[in-house]
Amino acid sequence: MPDLWTLSARDIEWYAESDAVLERGRSYYRSGRVRELHLVTQDHLRARVRGQWERFYRIEVWVEEGELHSQCSCPYWGVCKHVVAVLLAWLDRREELCPDAPTGGDMESLAAWMETIPPHLLRDLLLEESRMNSAIEEVLRRWKETLRPERLPQHIALLFRKMSGASSKGIARSEGRIVHLLAWAKTFAPSVAGAIVRETLKRAVEWRRRRPDVELTAILTQVVELLEAQAQTFERDPKLGASVLRDLVTLFLLGRASTRVFLEPALVTWAERWGRRAEVIAELKRQLPEGDTGAYALLAKLCRLEGRLEEYEAARHKSLVSEEDYLELFEHYLRTNYPDRAIRVGEQGIKALGTKASRLAERLAALYQDWGETARAERLLGRRRLA
């Protein structure tokens, strides 16, 4: 894809998703609906396009890493007629625009100023202005309809779709809006909050599979808090609870350590609270990739809580990383009267961890002493002191 300065009509035809969108975009461009076309930087356009019923949509077009990207404030997902109209207007007017002109600063400074205004004052200003300005009143009414609690699952799905192909700033902007909606949902009726959680988790799974580089930590943190606030909803609805736990298992497996830190205790808690530990174990086994020690550690914990000791031992053997891991399995074998297995685990841990297994070495030496293996205990502790 060329940059904005070498963009051609053929490139726009290629970029449009369909002939219908292309033709509607041409119609919008010819009828003069493109307003306030600005060049923010050499690779970034901003414009407003008048849609139906005198609604105005804000369009961003930019080139990033050799790829053309766009975003429009209209509800359409993908490259819409407004974006096509803006690109055609750009072809016609780009020679008039200077790449060094400071055309985009006003909106940034306005946004920065709005950040300093207390929310209640901004609300009062908007309401007062809407009484005198029908366009503002119409926008507020439209958003009131869009943000009805029962419509928020669809709106969250739309925000996730807008993240596709967006720049890092665009992704952060959509993610921030989803976070605010999830925080707001804590005040909703349980059935509505449940639908919002289910849709958010479904879209988060899709997104993480497409973009494993984006963790969605802020969104998932809010989901966990919303689940806690509406816990009884999921206890009363078995189908909803099962769906939520299934998606949380998938997100745990797709997540890095920072995400797993707060998803693991949530999974353990809710699997027990909702009586679905066996289902979570089965889902983990179904999806679990070989060699994922963190996932095997979670599986071991759940199997131990469920009383499935043979499965616990098998999973724990595949998740031995730290001294704490080895000590846990070592003590388990002692409690279940398998000292020979405890010795093997202790020796394995000392061989793997070396000087980082001091407590494990002391416990193993004590076990040697109990078995009358005094010489082995002394050799083990002697080696530790020399090390």
Could you report the per-residue pLDDT of 317-341, keeping only the tens digit for each? Answer: 999 999 999 999 999 999 999 999 9
In terms of C-beta density within 10 A (0-12 exposed, 13-18 middle, 19 or more buried), how is residue 385 classed? exposed
pLDDT of residue 51: 87
pLDDT of residue 55: 85
CA distance linking residue 302 with residue 306, whole number of Å:
6
Q: 34 to each of 96, 291, 325, how far by Cα in Å?
A: 15, 55, 63
Pairing of strands 34-41, 44-50: antiparallel
Q: Do the beta carbons of residue 177 and residue 159 sit within 8 Å?
A: yes
Pairing of strands 67-72, 56-64: antiparallel
Sheet architecture: strand order including 34-41: 34-41, 44-50, 56-64, 67-72
42 sits in which H/E element: none
In terms of C-beta density within 10 A (0-12 exposed, 13-18 middle, 19 or more buried), how is residue 362 classed? middle
Helices (H), 96-189: 105-115, 119-132, 134-146, 152-163, 168-184
Q: Do the beta carbons of residue 231 and residue 273 sit within 8 Å?
A: yes
pLDDT tens-digit map of 151-179: 999 999 999 988 877 778 888 889 999 99
How remote is the C-alpha of 325 from its chain's centroid?
29
Reported as a pLDDT band with limits 50, 70 and 90, residue 232 is: confident
CA distance linking residue 277 with residue 269, whole number of Å:
9
DSSP string, 247-308: HHHHHHHHS-HHHHHHHHHHHHHHHHHTT-HHHHHHHHHHHPPTT-HHHHHHHHHHHHHHT-
pLDDT tens-digit map of 35-73: 889 888 888 999 999 988 778 899 999 988 778 999 999
CA distance linking residue 40 with residue 47, whole number of Å:
10
pLDDT of residue 20: 92
Lowest model confidence (mean pLDDT) among 34-48, 127-141, 265-279 = 127-141
> Going by C-beta distance under 8 Å and a sequence separation of 6 or more, which residues neighbour residue 137?
130, 131
Mean pLDDT value across the chain: 88
Reported as a pLDDT band with limits 50, 70 and 90, residue 101 is: very low
Listed residue (371, 368, 370) closest to 384, CA to CA: 368
Residue 347 tokens, joined: 């020796």
Please state, for a pLDDT cut of 70, what percent of the chain lies above it.
95
- Side-chain half-sphere of 303: how many Cα atoms within 13 Å? 21
pLDDT of residue 129: 83
Is the pLDDT at 132 greater than 50, yes or no?
A: yes
> How many C-beta atoms lie closer than 10 Å to residue 242's C-beta?
16
